[in-house]
């Protein structure tokens, strides 16, 4: 693990996600920026002190030489620290799983894709919300034609935790996310907008082709955006709205997507993730884990009987598990199944970086539509 020292939120999430299914062991880490603090973090995690390293370079170098070396590197640092460790890990033969957005810039993301392709190793990007089984069921329903040709997509991701200037109050999670040097050109758009974009493309199977954004920084003194409203157009002619905000005061983590097709609509909300609503003019139906027959892709990502709620960590764990099984199969020279391959990778990472750059560009533009593709 690179990053995830004491006080880090997402590092703990990654560790739990990896642990849930008992298929991945945490064996070493460069948890913090000094060897000492890294060891302190490692001690709490009951990691062999000899394998708590001062930085990712040391970790990758030394682990490479061990007989019982790690198989996978998990990167949970802020955005500006994704590319270099990912590249080096891959170049030393380690598979990589990395937090999103994939890199600091689009250019880095494209270089990373080249490294992945040239090494032939496996890369996963933790767009964890696509790990929810009901998200997978939604995707399957779309694929099956249950709602017909898609006309309209509404994906929203309001949060309220940055309604005040948290980054000046010593709140670490706020600090780096609002710091252009660590987060990149975007704040909320990169942190949560990319999740919304990824979710929309994952469920619909469509690609955004152009967009029109109103990008805002509402909190005085903030350096990056904290709210964006975006009109979308998709490659099949569908239209959409994407809305992300970190100043939607009172909202928790209210990612939601609605997809309307010629025959019906779907509605999924992250805060009640085990419910998927499928509506048409003639019926309202609710899909729930282990109630009736679900798509195999959804079914494979459920652990518990119906009514036993699985949540955020289990969805995150699904990304880890599918990735780990793919890695294991490939290490054994086997072909992973479609179910095992169901995790986001570098292509989704590049889409995310394109999204960030397009939205920021559109926010500054006086013309209505900006293409969602490289200039």
Q: Which of residues 271-300 bind a second copy (CB under 8 A)?
A: 271-274, 278-288, 290-293
Q: Measured between alpha carbons, how far is 85 from 117 in angstroms, rounded to an integer?
A: 16
Given the complex with a second copy, which of 106 and 273 has the nearer CB atom?
Answer: 273
Count of CB atoms within 10 A of residue 293's CB? Answer: 8
Site for a second copy, residues 232 to 261, rule: CB under 8 A: 233, 239-241, 243, 245, 247-254, 258, 260-261
Least distance to a second copy, CB of residue 191, Å: 13
* 26 lines the binding site for a second copy (CB under 8 A): yes
Q: Which 3 state secondary structure label does DSSP give 257?
A: strand
* 200 lines the binding site for a second copy (CB under 8 A): no
**By rule CB under 8 A, what count of residues binds a second copy?**
90
Among candidate residues 54, 73, 171, the one with its CA nearest the CA of residue 124: 73
Least distance to a second copy, CB of residue 274, Å: 8
Contact flags string 206-235 toward a second copy, x per CB under 8 A: ------x-x-x-x--------x-x-x-x--
Piece of 75-83, 175-183, 269-277, 319-327 that binds a second copy (CB under 8 A): 269-277
Given the complex with a second copy, which of 90 and 302 has the nearer CB atom?
Answer: 302
* 165 lines the binding site for a second copy (CB under 8 A): no
Q: 70 with 94: CB under 8 angstroms?
A: yes
Q: Can you read off the two tokens belonging to residue 121?
A: 């190793």
Long-range interactions of 324-327: CB distance < 8 A, separation 24+: 324/18, 324/23, 324/24, 324/72, 325/23, 326/122, 327/71, 327/72, 327/95, 327/122
CB contact set of 41 (below 8 Å; sequence gap of 6+): 4, 5, 6, 29, 31, 32, 52
Among candidate residues 261, 275, 164, 158, the one with its CA nearest the CA of residue 204: 261
Least distance to a second copy, CB of residue 111, Å: 32
Site for a second copy, residues 34 to 53, rule: CB under 8 A: 45-46
Site for a second copy, residues 346 to 375, rule: CB under 8 A: 365-369
* 265 lines the binding site for a second copy (CB under 8 A): yes
* 311 lines the binding site for a second copy (CB under 8 A): yes
Please identify which residue in 161, 299, 329, 341 interacts with a second copy, judged by CB under 8 A: 161
Given the complex with a second copy, which of 322 and 345 has the nearer CB atom?
Answer: 322
Q: Measured between alpha carbons, how far is 247 from 351 in angstroms, rounded to an integer?
A: 25
CA–centroid distance for 204 within its chain = 17
Piece of 50-58, 90-98, 304-312, 329-337 that binds a second copy (CB under 8 A): 304-312
Please identify which residue in 313, 328, 330, 336 interacts with a second copy, judged by CB under 8 A: 313
Q: 4 with 29: CB under 8 angstroms?
A: yes
Site for a second copy, residues 65 to 124, rule: CB under 8 A: none
User: Is residue 108 classed exposed, middle or buried when 0-12, 13-18 and 19+ CB atoms within 10 A define those classes?
Assistant: buried
């Amino acid at each position: 693990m690179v990053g995830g020292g004491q006080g880090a939120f997402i590092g703990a999430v990654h560790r739990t996600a990896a642990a849930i299914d008992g298929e991945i062991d945490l064996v070493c880490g460069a948890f913090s920026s000094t060897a000492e603090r890294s060891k302190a973090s490692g001690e709490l995690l009951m990691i062999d002190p000899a394998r708590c390293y001062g930085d990712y370079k040391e970790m990758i170098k030394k682990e490479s030489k061990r007989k019982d070396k790690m198989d996978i590197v998990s990167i949970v640092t802020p955005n500006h620290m994704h590319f270099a460790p990912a590249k080096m890990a891959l170049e030393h033969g380690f598979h990589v799983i990395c937090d999103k957005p994939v890199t600091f810039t689009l250019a880095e993301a494209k270089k990373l894709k080249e490294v992945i392709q040239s090494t032939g190793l496996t890369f996963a990007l933790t767009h964890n919300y696509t790990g929810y089984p009901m998200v997978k069921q939604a995707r399957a329903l779309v694929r099956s034609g249950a709602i017909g040709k898609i006309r309209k997509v509404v994906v929203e991701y309001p949060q309220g935790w940055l309604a005040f200037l948290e980054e000046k109050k010593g709140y670490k999670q706020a600090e780096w996310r609002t710091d252009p040097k660590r987060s990149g050109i975007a704040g909320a758009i990169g942190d949560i907008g990319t999740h919304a974009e990824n979710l929309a493309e994952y469920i619909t199977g469509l690609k955004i082709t152009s967009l029109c954004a109103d990008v805002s920084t509402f909190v005085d003194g903030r350096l990056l955006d904290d709210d964006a409203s975006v009109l979308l157009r998709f490659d099949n002619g569908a239209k959409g709205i994407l809305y992300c905000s970190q100043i939607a005061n009172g909202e928790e983590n209210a990612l939601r997507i609605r997809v309307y097709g010629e025959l019906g609509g779907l509605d999924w909300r992250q805060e009640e993730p085990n419910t998927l609503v499928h509506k048409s003019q003639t019926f309202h139906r609710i899909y729930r884990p282990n109630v009736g027959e679900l798509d195999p892709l959804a079914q494979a990502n459920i652990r518990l009987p119906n009514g036993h709620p699985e949540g955020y960590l289990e969805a995150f764990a699904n990304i880890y598990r599918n990735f780990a099984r793919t890695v294991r199969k490939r290490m054994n020279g086997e072909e992973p199944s479609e179910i095992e391959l169901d995790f986001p990778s570098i292509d989704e990472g590049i889409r995310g970086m394109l999204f960030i750059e397009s939205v920021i560009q559109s926010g500054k533009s006086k013309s209505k539509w900006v293409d969602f593709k490289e200039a």
